[in-house]
Structure 1
């Protein structure tokens, strides 16, 4: 399954990339993230790997992130692998006329289990919604200082 999502962030591209590429900031916009572990490589550089651990109540998940292309300030691509699925993500960043940043995320989900094949087939909207939520969380964190871990 493939799809593309985009969001306009009212901040300069240098600020967007600085916040996006700082591992310690992930907790502010990725709901459920409980820990990150550097595995190998130079963070955010080609081939770098980190392990992300999430807790969504009864659902716990470990995801391995591998940077597959880094051509900043315009591109940052990565693969996210977890039990049952691999997400190939291509992120593109463009400066707008008013010095804001357009973030375009192209995603391809590849199931590696029958269960995930069925999820992708019957609930493709859930994956698209999750991507849009993460991007909106990042926008809110950057523009308004709102963290997903702050009480409402």
Structure 2
């Protein structure tokens, strides 16, 4: 399953990248994030890995992020792996005056019957979640709003 989401954030690209590139900021725009741990000696660089833990309702989910391309400030590509799901995330950041257009291409590859069915029956839920993270990042970057306060 593939889809593209995009949003314009009313901050200059250098500020956008500074806020996005700091893992300490993730808790402010990724609702449900309960922790992260660097698994590599070279955090934030190509090939580096980070473990992420989320709580969504009563469900806990752990995944591993791997940076596969880091060409900031233009692009940042990662994979996310959790049980039954391999997600490839390609993020592009375009300067538009004092604003930044964030274009995110998502590709989900499912294994196991349960995840394959979820991907078939609920593709909109994945896109909706991606857009929600983008909207929450926009609120954090523009106004300093945190999902921790909601």
- Residue by residue, what CA displacement relative to the aligned partner does 1:70-94 show, whole Å, maximum 9, x if unpaired? 0111010000001110110000000
The answer on 1:149 being equivalent to 2:135 is no
Equivalent residues of 1:41, 1:49 under 8 A apart: no
- Residue by residue, what CA displacement relative to the aligned partner does 1:95-146 show, whole Å, maximum 9, x if unpaired? 01x2210000000000021111000101000000000000000000010111
Q: Which runs of 4+ in 1 moved over 4 A?
A: none
Point out where structure 2 has 5 or more consecutive residues left out of the alignment: none
The DSSP-based 3-state class of the residue aligned with 1:89 is strand
CA distance in 1 between counterparts of 2:43 and 2:91 reads 16
Query: 1:106-145 counterparts in 2 under 5 A?
Result: 106-145=105-144
Point out where structure 1 has 5 or more consecutive residues left out of the alignment: none
CA distance in 2 between counterparts of 1:23 and 1:102 reads 20
> Mean Cα displacement is larger for which, 38-47 or 133-142?
38-47
The answer on 1:87 being equivalent to 2:75 is no
CA distance in 1 between counterparts of 2:98 and 2:147 reads 26
Equivalent residues of 1:41, 1:47 under 8 A apart: no
TM-score, scaled relative to structure 2: 0.97
CA distance in 1 between counterparts of 2:23 and 2:122 reads 30
